[in-house]
Structure 1
Amino acid sequence: MAAEASKIDIKDLSRQQLAEWLQSRGQRPFRTDQILRWVYLHQSDRFEEMTNIGKPLRAALSAAFVNPRLQVENEASSKDGSRKFLFRLYDGRHIETVLIPEKDHFTLCISSQVGCRQGCRFCMTAKGGWIRNLSTGEIVSQVRDVKQHVDAMGDMPLTNIVFMGMGEPLDNYANVIQALEAITDGDWGLKFSSRRVTVSTAGIVPAMADLGRDTPVNLAVSLNATEDDTRSRLMPVNRRYPIADLIEACRRYPLPPRRKITFEYILMKGVNDSLKDARRLVKLLRPIKAKINLIPFNEHPGSEFLRPDPDRIAQFQETLADHHYTAMVRHSKGQDIGAACGQLRAKLEMDEG
């Protein structure tokens, strides 16, 4: 066990880092992608299985690296088809990953941190605080492991990835960017289209320009209010990067052709669901190529917030539609299994306590 613990997860290496490791051992450059295809495309867990690589190199890889799977601590299935995985990490910490069925494909909601430091009042993950960032390998493993599971089922393909699970992706920037390379690379990686991968942020303004420069994936912004007082109460990040700064960063964001920024707006009864809020939202987003996801609050035990009445949700959506915005109401799936981020982890910690 001690020898294994001293080895590096090969998925923590970037393509460039693996290429340099191989070069230092006199290996030819093509070996880099050859090995990575075994890891990601062929879903191989053991270096001994890499049959088009010579035995000495396989032995060197085995001596230096490991290629582990995440340990499934708990798995819950919803009546709507959603499945939540509670993964146990090497240090005993836990993260959550949710597989969501759509009409003809699956979407996977993945985590980027153990906990979160943003402290949003409506979020279950925030209540546990921030513990640590996930490594590149831990981020990619969520996709790699669940993809293997989905492919074995054979019902529908896994095509969409959203960084909307536990944690703030832009607070773990370097590892998220490196993971995105492995997820989206069309040659040696997992081959997900960048058009079907979305990174969601609470509004870490300085990192948003970097994201647009470093990757062509989609951007989603968790907005949730139309004026600073309310947003600062809901989301402490707004005290550092107020709405005007956030909107300006979105206006400057280098969108690929025919793309829009998605704004996530969690509707909370009596907090941010008035028609005045809807009209302010229309005005606020006017300078941006935007679409809006309206998410009625997913009530959970101990929450101080409530879901708005259905009529109010419909009126809010109609106000946006009247001003030519694409505004979809996204009802939370997996409510019977606690699919809101952090609920399964919180329950485990409560049971263990």
Structure 2
Amino acid sequence: MKNSKKDIRALSKKELQDFFVSHGDKSFRGSQVYDWLWNKATYNFEDMTNLSKETRQMLMDNFVINNIEVDQMQRSKDGTIKNAVKLHDGFTVESVLIPTMSRTTACVSSQVGCSLDCKFCATAKLKRLRNLNADEIFDQVVAIDKESKLYNGIPLSNIVYMGMGEPLMNYNNVLKSIEKITSPEGLGMSPRRITLSTSGVPKMIKKLADDEVKFHLAVSLHSAIDEIRTQIMPFNAKFPLADLRESLVYWYEKTGKSVTYEYIVWNGINDREEDIRALVEFCKAIPCKVNIIEYNPIDDGQFQQGTDVAVAKYMNALEANHITVTLRHSRGKDIDAACGQLANKMKV
């Protein structure tokens, strides 16, 4: 039998206040409950100790808290932690804690599976089963923050929406989760410490700009030639590079924020001189930086890491054109926690 109780975290603060007024109580009770849910990240009504037993029982009679549970945690030899996160309906997603000397970063998922079809990514093979709710994304951050404090002795410092799923195809829930994470009534993190990574949905990038978001934007690019990009990221046929470029120019004009391009060099796919020239030209559209990322295999062998020589050519060409470029080595590869590997060994 389906549970008829409503998920209390689907209610706004005003709706919680109205609920208590409709039950003959004061509206500030709603504010108290809201604080327990979002500031203290409490998952049990019994733990809301500034409420009477009768009030807590009323909440239990009417609502549920559909919180996530860390079903399995793996620790890499480099300190990276990967969580298999079980959702209330039995689906599983993955999130990652990446500790470095200067920061601790949470990599969170936004979908069960993915709406897009990038051929080099394990998550894309699952297809999209459903979007995550805002509270399910929020819970991943809470869990990783606790783990960072436990194992590293420091709180979480940064968040990237770079786990399973395409964040811009779950726009409303992603932005609502960021609002809860950054609000003083929530976790109080600065939006400047949050990066949303997208494969590039031009219409939604423009919407981000129109909504005047304060967080950073990264684009998973991997080729600046339409024919090549469509081969490795087939959705590019619907969202070609000209449209992506236009949306990024719009983003910069509206927000004044530069963009980070994530780029993997593959042997025999995008390692030619013309590939390098195309990326340099694409980067000239707006202020940006390029992260060249080490490739993480997903077992089918179709994609192989480009040679050191090819990577060096990319970096030299970008630097010669005064474009900031960084070479990033992957973390957590031994537990399939690196970029593109999430869901590699997971069954949903």
TM-score (norm 1): 0.90
Shift of 1:267: 1.6
1:166–1:341: 8 Å Cα contact kept in structure 2? no
Cross-structure match for 2:264: 266
Equivalent of 1:198 in 186, 189, 195: 195
Structure 1 segment 13-32 matched on structure 2, within 5 A: 13-22=11-20, 24-25=22-23, 28=26, 30-32=28-30
Q: For residues 40 and 240 of structure 1, do their structure 2 counterparts lie closer, same or farther at Cα, with a shift above 3 Å needed? A: same
Shift of 1:22: 4.4
Equivalent of 2:10 in 9, 12, 19: 12
Shift of 1:26: 5.6
Cross-structure match for 2:313: 315
2:260–2:290: 8 Å Cα contact kept in structure 1? yes
Shift of 1:55: 4.5
* 1:282 aligns to 2:244 (yes or no): no
Deviations 1:162-218 (A, max 9, x none): 110111111111111111111111x21111110011111111111112222333211
Shift of 1:316: 1.0
Q: Distance in 1 between matches of 2:202 and 2:220?
A: 12
* 1:141 aligns to 2:133 (yes or no): no
Q: Distance in 2 between matches of 1:282 and 1:51?
A: 58
Stretch moving more, 328-337 or 44-53: 44-53
AA in 2 matched with 1:212: A
Shift of 1:120: 0.7
Deviations 1:61-92 (A, max 9, x none): 22222335422232211111101111122222
Cross-structure match for 1:116: 114
AA in 1 matched with 2:196: V
Q: Distance in 2 between matches of 1:222 and 1:256?
A: 21
Secondary structure, in 3 states, of the residue corresponding to 2:34? helix
TM-score (norm 2): 0.91
Cross-structure match for 2:186: 189
Cross-structure match for 1:66: 64
Secondary structure, in 3 states, of the residue corresponding to 2:229? helix
Q: For residues 88 and 48 of structure 1, do their structure 2 counterparts lie closer, same or farther at Cα, with a shift above 3 Å needed? A: closer
Secondary structure, in 3 states, of the residue corresponding to 2:135? helix
Q: For residues 345 and 238 of structure 1, do their structure 2 counterparts lie closer, same or farther at Cα, with a shift above 3 Å needed? A: closer
AA in 1 matched with 2:182: T
Equivalent of 1:208 in 200, 205, 213: 205
Q: Distance in 1 between matches of 2:8 and 2:151?
A: 27
Cross-structure match for 1:305: 303
1:125–1:343: 8 Å Cα contact kept in structure 2? yes
Percent identity reads 39
1:262–1:293: 8 Å Cα contact kept in structure 2? yes
Cross-structure match for 1:218: 216
Unmatched runs of 5 consecutive residues or more in structure 2: none
Shift of 1:27: 5.3
Shift of 1:20: 4.6
Cα RMSD of the aligned pairs, angstroms, is 2.4
Q: Distance in 1 between matches of 2:320 and 2:344?
A: 41
* 1:171 aligns to 2:169 (yes or no): yes
AA in 1 matched with 2:8: I
Secondary structure, in 3 states, of the residue corresponding to 1:347? coil
Q: For residues 209 and 348 of structure 1, do their structure 2 counterparts lie closer, same or farther at Cα, with a shift above 3 Å needed? A: closer
Q: Distance in 1 between matches of 2:58 and 2:225?
A: 57
2:336–2:342: 8 Å Cα contact kept in structure 1? yes
Q: Distance in 2 between matches of 1:92 and 1:342?
A: 23
AA in 1 matched with 2:288: A
1:40–1:144: 8 Å Cα contact kept in structure 2? no
Deviations 1:131-182 (A, max 9, x none): 1111222111111222223234452220111110111111111111111111
Q: Distance in 2 between matches of 1:45 and 1:276?
A: 54
Deviations 1:260-315 (A, max 9, x none): 21111122112112333222212112121211111122123113000011232122
Cross-structure match for 1:47: 45
AA in 1 matched with 2:47: E
Shift of 1:328: 1.0
2:97–2:148: 8 Å Cα contact kept in structure 1? no
Q: For residues 256 and 61 of structure 1, do their structure 2 counterparts lie closer, same or farther at Cα, with a shift above 3 Å needed? A: farther
Q: Distance in 1 between matches of 2:224 and 2:251?
A: 20
Q: Distance in 2 between matches of 1:15 and 1:236?
A: 42
Q: Distance in 1 between matches of 2:99 and 2:87?
A: 25
2:122–2:342: 8 Å Cα contact kept in structure 1? no
Deviations 1:228-247 (A, max 9, x none): 10111111221111101101
Deviations 1:20-78 (A, max 9, x none): 54454465554444323222332322223323344444333222223354222322111
